Structure 1
Amino acid sequence: MSASIPYPSQNSEIEQVKRIVGKYFSIYEIRLTPSDVSFYVRSAFSDVDQSFDALRRELVPQNFVPMLTLESGQYVIHVMKTPHTRDTNVVWNILLLIGTLCTTAFAGMSLWAGYVGINTLEGMLRADVVIYGVLFFGMPLMLILGIHEMGHYLAARRHGVKATLPYFIPVPPPFLFGTMGAFISIKEPIPDRKALMDIGFAGPISGFIVAIPVTITGLYLSTIFPPAITDGGGLILGTSIFYEALAMLVPFTPAGLHPMAIAGWVGLFVTAINLLPVGQLDGGHILYALIGNNARYFGYAAIFAMLIMSFLYPGWLFFAFLVVILGLRHPQPLNTVSKIDTKRQIFGILAVLILFTSFVAIPIRDADVSFRFSSDVTEKPVSKDGSVSFTMIIKNEGEVYTRYTVKLVKVRLSNNNATIPDNGFESNISVQFAFTHGQDVSLVSNYSVETPRIAPGDQVTFDVSLQIAIKNYSGYNFVKAEFVAYPVGIENKDESIVFTISLPG
C-alpha cells in the first residue's frame, strides 16, 4: 500500500467502513496501519468474490477503496481513502476524435489516389478522391478502432469500473495510416482477475470481429476493381497467417490491395500489437489475469523479442521504448484472492491464438523489384556490312508490375576478353542503335529504351541491332558493348550484359 494515501482517520469514518464491511463479512479483528484500516474477516456468504464485489461497489462511491488479500490463511480487507483524481474533460476526446478523423481521411485520400493511379496533389484533392478515401479507408479504420475501445469501455462499465471515453491518436502525414490507434483511461483500480480478463479481452475481440468483414470486403474489392498499374517500387504490407487464411476466400496481390483491405489489415495488426503480453497492453492485462505476477517474465521476453525484431523492422525499437515508458509491471487488482473460471481461460487461449495468427514481424517493407536480365548468346561476329544483333530477355522476378529501362552504356575496342574500361564510348567507333520488338518497346534516347509494364513472373524478349563503323581497329579483335537494365526510376537496382562482337581478321 502507498503510505501517501491516508487511511480513514476519523472514528466516524472507521465506524462507517466497519458497518459496511460487516454487511458482507464477519469481522473478528481490526488493525490500524500507517496506510489503511485492515479488517480480518470471514465471508458471510459462500462466494467470497461476490461478497467482495458487492462491498467494493458500496465503498467506492463513498471514496473508499478496499483490497482483499489472503495472509497466512486469513482473509484481510484493507481499506484506504480514494486518492484524489481530476475529472476528465470530454472536450479532449472530441478534439482528438476530430483530429483523427481528419488525418485518417487524408491517409485514405492518399491511398485511394495511389490505388487509381493519381500522383498529383491536385488530383488527390478531387471530390471523388476525398469521398472514396474516407469511405474505403477512413471510416472502416475508425470503426475498427472505435469498436475496439468501446469494447473496453462497456466491459469496464459492466464491472462498475470508472473509465473515460476513447482518446484517439491522430498522426499527420507522412505517416501512412493517419493514426496510432486509441486508448481509454481506467480511473479506478480493477476489481479482480475476472474483471481484468473481461476488460482486457473485450477490446481486441470486438475490433477483431469488425476487422474480419472489413478485410474480406476489401479483398473482394481488390479483385472486382483492380488497381491502376503503376511503375515498380513502393511499399508492401506484410501478411499474417490469419490474413493469408482470409485471402484463401478472396485471392489477392500484396502490391494491389484496395484501401478497405488495408484498413482491415491495420485493424488486425493493431489487434495483434495490443495482445502482446506486456505491462499495460491488453495482452498484459489478459496474461496477468491468467497467471498473476508471473506475467512479468513474459513481458521481459516480449521486449527482448521486439529488440531482436528491430533488426528486421526498425519500428519495433520505438515500440519497445514506448512500452517500457508505459511500464512493464502490472498493478494488482483489488481482489488478489480471486481466480478466473473456465470461460475466461478460454478467452485467454483465444487471445493467444489471435496474437500468433495476426502478428506480422515485418509489417511494412519495400516492394521486391528483382528481375533477371539475360541473353541467349553474348558473343557474335560482326557481319560484312558492320551490323550485329542480339536477343535480350527481361524477366520480372519481383512482386509488382514494373517497367524497365535498357541502356547502352559502354562501347570499347578490345584485343582480349578484358573488362570494358569505365570511360564510356570509344571515340574511334560509330554506333547506330535500334530495338525491334512487337511489344511496344519505346525509344527514350539514342541509346536507351523502356519496356512495357511487365507483370510479376512474366518476361519480354526483344532484339537489339548495332550498326558498327570503326575508323581504325588495327591490333584489335573485338568490340565490347555493355548494356544495363533497371526498373524505371530505380537505377541502383541495375543488371548488366556485356556483348562481345568479333571483328574480321
Structure 2
Amino acid sequence: MQPPPEMASLPVVALDKVEAMRKGIAHLFAVGDTTLDEPHQGFVRYRGRFLSDPADCFDELRAVFEAEGFTPTIREEENGRIAIIALPQLFNPPASDWRINLALFIATVLATLATGSFYNAETADQAFQIWRGWPFSLSIMLILGAHELGHYFAARYHKVAVTLPYFIPLPIISPIGTMGAVIRLKAPIKNKRALFDIGVAGPIAGLVFAVPLLLYGLATSELGPISPEGLLEGNSIFYYFAKFAIFGQFLPNETADVYLNQVAWAGWVGLLVTALNLMPVGQLDGGHIIYSLIGERAKQLFTPVIAILGALTLASFFIDNTFTWGIWVLLLFFFGRAHAEP
C-alpha cells in the first residue's frame, strides 16, 4: 500500500496521541507492541489481539482514533498477528452533487426507451417511437436500480460513505442501452463483514426483480419457428429450466424457440449482468465477496478467471465469429486486479 501524495512529508506523530489511542482502545484491543512510522511515515501500528468481535466494536474503536485525527484499519499479518494501522487522515468526504446522478438517470431512461422501441419494432416508424420501449426500460431500470440501491443501503447500514448510484447511458453501442450503474466508495470499508454485506446485497436485490420479471416475460412471450436471422440468446441452467417450466419443453429445440418480449429480454439481461458481476475478481461484487471470505488469497483467482475468459473468447470467435468475451478479458486485465480492502 503506497501512501497518498499528501502524506509523503507528514511529521512524526506526537507521543501523547499514540498513548491516548492506546489507552482509549484498551478495553477493546490488548496491545502487545506499538510501532511509529509503520508502514509509512506518520502512521502508527498497534499489534495485539481483540477482546471483542472486531465487527461489533469497530465503530467505538474508530471514534477513539478519530478523536486524535486518525483513521483505523485492521490488518492480519503474514504470521497471523492482528495489527491496527492508524492512518494520519480523517475521511470527511463532501456531499455528492445529486444533480449529476439525476441527469445520468434521465439519460439512461431515454437510452433504454430507445433500445426497447427498436426491439421487436415491425416498421421504421415504430422503431423511433421511443415510448413503445417502456416495458423494457421500466424492467431493466428496476433491476439495475434495485441492484445498486442494495449496495447503497447496505453501505449506509454499515456507516460507510458512498455516493448515490451513477447510471451509465450507452445508446446504440450497447444492446441494452446502458453499461449499468455504479456507486463510489468515499471512505474505506471498515471490516470484512461490511465488505461482504455490501458486496452481496446488490446481486440479491437485483435478482428479487430479475427473476419474477423474467418469468412473467416468458409467460407473455410467444413460441415460433427458429429463424436464421434471429438473435439466439445464451442458456443458463436457471433460464433453461425456466423455459421448460413455462412452455413444457426444452428450448430451443429443432423446430421452435421462444421469441422474448421486452420484459423477458430485460429479465434475461438482469440474470446475465448479475452472473458477470459475481466473477470473483477485483472491484466486481464477486471480488468483494471472495475477498471478505479469504482475504489476500482472493488475488490468486485473477489468473484462472482471465484464462477461462480467454478460452471462452477463442471458442466464441471460432464458433460464432464474436469477440464479446474478449472485451471482458481486456476490462478485467486492466481494472480487475485491485480489491476493496477493509
TM-score of the superposed pair, with normalisation by structure 2: 0.83
Structure 2 contact 118–127 (Cα < 8 Å) conserved = yes
Q: What aligned pairs does 1:36-435 form with structure 2 within 5 A after superposition?
A: 36-43=43-50, 45-56=51-62, 59=65, 64-70=70-76, 74-82=81-89, 87=94, 88-113=96-121, 118-120=122-124, 122-126=125-129, 130-134=130-134, 136-223=135-222, 232-251=228-247, 254=257, 256-311=259-314, 312=316, 313-333=322-342
Match of 1:51, as an amino acid?
Answer: C
Deviations 1:3-40 (Å, cap 9, x if unpaired)?
44347734564455345434533445433112411234
Q: Report if aligned partners of 1:96, 1:170 keep a CA contact under 8 Å in 2.
A: yes
Q: 1:172 to 1:73 in 2, by over 3 A?
A: closer
Q: Match for 1:270: what amino acid?
A: V
3-state DSSP class of the match of 2:154? helix
Q: Secondary structure at the match of 2:190?
A: coil
2: distance between equivalents of 1:273 and 1:213? 19
Correspondence 1:422-461 to 2 at 5 A: none
Secondary structure of the residue aligned to 1:235 is coil
Contact 2:302 2:336 in 1 (8 A): no
Deviation at 1:332, TM superposition (A): 3.0
Distance 1:324 1:176, change over 3 A: same
Distance 2:209 2:64 in 1: 36
Q: CA deviation at 1:139?
A: 0.4
Deviations 1:331-363 (A, max 9, x none): 432xxxxxxxxxxxxxxxxxxxxxxxxxxxxxx
Measure, in 1, the Cα distance between the counterparts of 2:203 and 2:60.
28
Give the structure with higher Rg (CA). Answer: 1
Long gaps (5+) in structure 2: 317-321
1:178 deviation in Å? 0.2
The DSSP-based 3-state class of the residue aligned with 1:76 is strand
> Does the 8 Å CA contact 1:278/1:296 hold for their aligned counterparts?
yes
Query: 1:2 is matched with which residue?
Result: 2
Call closer, same or farther: CA 1:104–1:254 in 2, change over 3 Å. Answer: farther
User: For residues 276 and 48 of structure 1, do their structure 2 counterparts lie closer, same or farther at Cα, with a shift above 3 Å needed?
Assistant: closer
Q: What letter is aligned with 1:234?
A: G
1:61 and 1:243 map into 2 onto residues whose CA distance is 53
Shift of 1:274: 0.1
| Aligned-CA RMSD value | 2.8
CA contact (8 A) 1:2 1:35 kept: no
Determine the C-alpha separation between the residues in 2 that align with 1:276 and 1:60. 35
**Structure 1: runs of 5 or more not aligned:** 334-505
Look up the equivalent residue of 1:282 and give its one-letter code.
D
Question: TM-score, normalized by length of structure 1?
Answer: 0.58
- 1: CA distance between counterparts of 2:257 and 2:85? 56
- Give aligned-pair identity as a percent: 36
Which of 249-258 and 315-324 deviates more? 249-258
Q: Does 1:30 align with 2:37?
A: no
Aligned AA for 1:208?
A: L
Task: Report if aligned partners of 2:66, 2:90 keep a CA contact under 8 Å in 1.
Answer: no
Tell me the secondary structure at the aligned position of residue 175 of structure 1. Answer: coil
